[in-house]
């Protein structure tokens, strides 16, 4: 199965300025997509509201995948996202992901837990900020 991955999805969503948000989301997330971040469930529209907010806060960044496993329709990874915010500050978060693919290879569901490695206390909820 050809499928997306976290590095490509996050890069398209947050670190590719000319790419339209809906176009980026359609590449990587099924119409029935749901996400749970640190215990909070979001529908696809709620997730896109979160990403739109981040696009206004994030100037640049990168994703480093440390561990990644795909098996059939299941996916898991551990990655670090480093973000430079528009105010010049840096936030680094380690993220643990368990996910399910839709039959077309896009994410149908992601459940993730985040651990802030660097950043201000106010950035602790960056993974679910709106």
Q: What is the pLDDT of residues 19-76, one digit of tens each?
A: 999 999 999 999 999 999 999 999 999 999 999 999 999 999 999 999 999 999 999 9
The pLDDT confidence band at residue 17, using thresholds 50, 70 and 90, is: confident
Quick: pLDDT tens for 89-116.
Answer: 999 999 999 999 999 999 999 999 999 9
CB 77 within 8 A of CB 68: yes
CA nearest to 58, candidates 5, 126, 4, 112: 126
Tokens of 20: 């339209």
- The reported pTM is 0.91
CA atoms within 13 A on the CB side of 51: 25
CA nearest to 82, candidates 112, 117, 50: 117
């Amino acid at each position: 199965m050809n499928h997306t991955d976290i590095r490509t999805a996050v890069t398209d969503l947050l670190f590719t300025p000319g790419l339209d948000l809906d176009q980026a989301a359609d590449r990587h997330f099924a119409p029935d997509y749901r996400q749970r971040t640190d215990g909070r469930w979001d529908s696809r529209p709620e997730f896109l509201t979160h990403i739109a907010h981040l696009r206004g806060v994030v100037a640049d960044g990168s994703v480093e995948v440390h561990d990644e496993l795909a098996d059939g329709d299941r996916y898991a990874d551990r990655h670090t996202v480093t973000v430079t915010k528009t105010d010049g500050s840096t936030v680094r978060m380690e993220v643990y992901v368990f996910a399910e693919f839709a039959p077309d290879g896009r994410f149908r569901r992601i459940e993730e837990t985040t651990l802030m490695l660097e950043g201000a206390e106010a950035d602790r909820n960056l993974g679910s900020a709106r």
